[in-house]
A and B are shown apart, each in its own frame.
Chain A
Amino acid sequence: MRIDVNQPRPAPAAAASAMSRRVVRVTESAPVRWALTAAALGFTFLFLLLPLASVVVQAFAAGLDTYLSALADPDTLSAIRLTVIVALIAVALNVVFGVAAAWCIARFTFRGRNLLVTLIDVPFSVSPVIAGMVQVLLFGLRGWLGPLLQQHDLRVVFALPGIVLATVFVTLPFVARELIPLMEEQGAEEEEAAISLGASGWQTFLRVTLPNLRWGLLYGVLLCNARAMGEFGAVSVVSGHIRGATNTMPLQVEILFNDYQIEAAFAVASLLALLALVTLGAKLLLEWRHASELAATRRR
């Protein structure tokens, strides 16, 4: 086969030539780039940032005094306390679980490993309302264990244990899902080296594994905590909405909003929004400062 190099080619379009002098790389024309960028910026502002702004504006709509007195309300203070307690318990439990799960999944090869990974993901794909409902079905007055609990005068549903159980359910994957890819990426060589140098299992774990995981663990704790404090659907089903007793902050927001105490609702909401912003900020800082250590978790 012969390719004729002198074959005349179609003349370039006249319109394209004026533009193409400016073209540096293969990309879209400038008007298209500007239009897409403007659309993305507009969308971000209208759809993502405006809701946040409206929380702040409405929280302070009636002035700082109203804002502060809304937060000083005894029911609100009790909701804040309950939220912190629930989050502390749920995060602590999920850290223990996350480390144990990551240790067996990322360090050992065994049959059923993939199934286990899938099971850990289940809470992410189940409606939070179901997470709350299953507690009611188990521990509620007419649930499987309800009569037994009543005999011993124990309360799970409409009390702290139920709220904790529901919160643990929805936040269960967070820590494990950060640690597993991180440990897989780091590999077992350092631990094997420690064992070969005579370290015990615990020594290896505390001196080699844990220090390598610290930023990933912090990252997971951060996300887990944000979700635990902000969870609404699951907690809403098991809490019973008893003011001053079983209301967490998101539930308090709901009650105030439905009572038309708009400023108070947004005042409590502003605290949760602040929590979200702090979480995002800390997450960015971690991703920026410890980018290489966290690369695995963000790549998954």
Chain B
Amino acid sequence: MTQAGWISGWRKPSVLPGFGPALGTTLAYLSLFVIIPLGAMVLTTFAHGWADFVGAVLQPRVLAAFRVTLLCAFGAAALCALFGLLLAWVLVRYPFPGHRLVDAAVDLPFALPTAVAGIALTSLYAPNGWIGALLAPLGIQVAFTPLGILVALTFVGLPFVVRTVQPVLQDLEREQEEASAILGATRLQTFTRVIMPALAPALLTGFAMALARGLGEYGSVIFIAGNKPMVSEIVPLLIVIELEQFNYAGAAAIGTLMLAVAFVLLFAINRLQRWTRLQHAD
């Protein structure tokens, strides 16, 4: 049977049993929970043709939400890249007391439910909160403005950058830096010409992952955003609002567009990860 399988062209023979049932279970499960539901969304979107899709997406409120979401997600991913690189660098390179605590704390945004992160950040950055009260005299308001969205998205995106950069930095040969110093490079030259090019693929991967997460994030944002239409309303919230008004086609249209953006990012991340592996293969 296995021989015939490979000759028919799609499976390499193996002595291990159970391929059929395992693949069947996997495909059925994926279809039931992911493919059919997402397909239903795309079908709903285009049930009445392109015109409805374009009409639903080109509304000013939708466009404004996409603008806010994209800007904040990009800004947050950039902040994640900056602080993520700092954290990964310090964690890998410098010994200091509390090292393990900091390393564990990096995973906190992964583990903490988004609603909890949302209300905690909101109460911290509200004008009467611990941090908000310090910023208020400076005329800076974070909570209930797009700045709040930026803070929340940076919080949830940070571990992606740290956890992709950290292992690459760990595996970076110290000898490359020593070679650079011996050849006369200053530490800054070594950093920009030797270390950064080696870290770039991982850093970009982390950036793209934080961006993807930021675009879809809901729980941590809605508490702190203030949700003012046209100003601080994010795309996922708009979907919820459309659904509450039983505008299924409108919600599905927005969702389909988000899905397309997510797929583009997924593709980019896959490419970046392949690049990372190539850079570090010998």
Q: Do chains A and B touch in the complex (CB under 8 A)?
A: yes
Instruction: Identify the A interface with B (CB < 8 A).
Output: 25-29, 33, 36-37, 39-41, 43-44, 46-52, 54-55, 58, 93, 96-97, 100-101, 103-105, 107-112, 116, 118-123, 125-131, 133-138, 140-144, 165, 168-169, 172, 188, 191-192, 195-196, 200-201, 204-205, 226, 229-233, 236-237, 249-251, 253-254, 257, 262, 265-266, 269, 272-273, 275-277, 279-280, 283-284, 299
Separation of A26 and B194 alpha carbons in the complex (Å): 13
- In the complex, are the beta carbons of A280 and B16 less than 8 A apart? no
Nearest-neighbour CB distance to chain B for A40, whole angstroms, equals 4
- Of B40, B91, B131, the residue contacting A138 (CB under 8 A) is B40
**Residues in B201-224 with C-beta less than 8 Å from chain A:** 212, 215-219, 223
Mostly, the B contact residues are helix
Nearest-neighbour CB distance to chain A for B271, whole angstroms, equals 12
- In the complex, are the beta carbons of A266 and B119 less than 8 A apart? yes
Q: List, sorted by A's number, 27 A–B pairs whose CB atoms are closer than 8 Å.
A: A37-B94, A39-B86, A48-B106, A51-B124, A52-B108, A93-B29, A97-B29, A100-B25, A100-B29, A110-B19, A125-B266, A127-B258, A130-B216, A133-B243, A134-B40, A137-B40, A137-B44, A137-B248, A144-B40, A144-B44, A249-B113, A253-B116, A253-B119, A266-B123, A272-B112, A272-B115, A283-B111
9 closest A-B pairs (Cβ-Cβ)? A230-B113, A127-B216, A233-B218, A134-B37, A232-B219, A201-B17, A129-B236, A276-B111, A51-B120
- In the complex, are the beta carbons of A55 and B216 less than 8 A apart? no
- In the complex, are the beta carbons of B115 and A195 less than 8 A apart? no
Nearest-neighbour CB distance to chain B for A224, whole angstroms, equals 12
Nearest-neighbour CB distance to chain A for B163, whole angstroms, equals 9
Interface size of B as a range: 35 or more
- Of A40, A97, A262, A275, the residue contacting B26 (CB under 8 A) is A97
Mostly, the A contact residues are helix
- Of A27, A116, A126, A137, the residue contacting B93 (CB under 8 A) is A27
B residues less than 8 Å from A29 (CB atoms)? 187
Separation of A101 and B19 alpha carbons in the complex (Å): 10
Tell me, yes or no, whether B4 is within 8 Å of chain A by CB. Answer: no
- In the complex, are the beta carbons of A43 and B86 less than 8 A apart? yes
Nearest-neighbour CB distance to chain B for A166, whole angstroms, equals 9
A residues less than 8 Å from B48 (CB atoms)? none
- Of B87, B91, B115, B178, the residue contacting A232 (CB under 8 A) is B115
Separation of A140 and B22 alpha carbons in the complex (Å): 32
- In the complex, are the beta carbons of B113 and A54 less than 8 A apart? no
**Residues in B97-117 with C-beta less than 8 Å from chain A:** 98, 102, 104-109, 111-117
For A58, the closest partner residue in chain B by CB is B123
- In the complex, are the beta carbons of B26 and A108 less than 8 A apart? no
B residues less than 8 Å from A126 (CB atoms)? 38, 216, 258-259, 262
Tell me, yes or no, whether B200 is within 8 Å of chain A by CB. Answer: no
If the complex has contacts A40-B90, A48-B105, are A107 and B16 also in contact, measured as CB distance less than 8 A?
A: yes
- In the complex, are the beta carbons of B19 and A41 less than 8 A apart? no
- In the complex, are the beta carbons of B266 and A118 less than 8 A apart? yes
Nearest-neighbour CB distance to chain A for B126, whole angstroms, equals 11
- In the complex, are the beta carbons of A109 and B12 less than 8 A apart? yes
- In the complex, are the beta carbons of B219 and A233 less than 8 A apart? yes
If the complex has contacts A128-B219, A172-B33, are A41 and B96 also in contact, measured as CB distance less than 8 A?
A: yes
For B252, the closest partner residue in chain A by CB is A137
- In the complex, are the beta carbons of A279 and B41 less than 8 A apart? no
Tell me, yes or no, whether B265 is within 8 Å of chain A by CB. Answer: yes
Instruction: Identify the B interface with A (CB < 8 A).
Output: 9-12, 14-19, 21-23, 25-27, 29-30, 33-38, 40-41, 43-44, 83, 86-87, 89-91, 93-94, 96, 98, 102, 104-109, 111-121, 123-124, 129-131, 154-155, 158, 167, 174, 177-178, 181, 187, 190, 212, 215-219, 223, 235-237, 239-240, 243, 246, 248, 251-252, 255, 258-259, 262-263, 265-266, 269-270
Separation of A129 and B83 alpha carbons in the complex (Å): 28
B residues less than 8 Å from A105 (CB atoms)? 26
Nearest-neighbour CB distance to chain A for B102, whole angstroms, equals 5
For A28, the closest partner residue in chain B by CB is B187
- In the complex, are the beta carbons of B107 and A280 less than 8 A apart? yes
Separation of A107 and B29 alpha carbons in the complex (Å): 19
A residues less than 8 Å from B154 (CB atoms)? 47
A residues less than 8 Å from B10 (CB atoms)? 110-112
- In the complex, are the beta carbons of B112 and A276 less than 8 A apart? yes
If the complex has contacts A43-B83, A50-B130, are A108 and B16 also in contact, measured as CB distance less than 8 A?
A: yes
- In the complex, are the beta carbons of A283 and B34 less than 8 A apart? no
For A121, the closest partner residue in chain B by CB is B266
Separation of A47 and B121 alpha carbons in the complex (Å): 9
- In the complex, are the beta carbons of A273 and B216 less than 8 A apart? no
B residues less than 8 Å from A269 (CB atoms)? 115-116, 119-120
- Of B104, B119, B130, B255, the residue contacting A284 (CB under 8 A) is B104
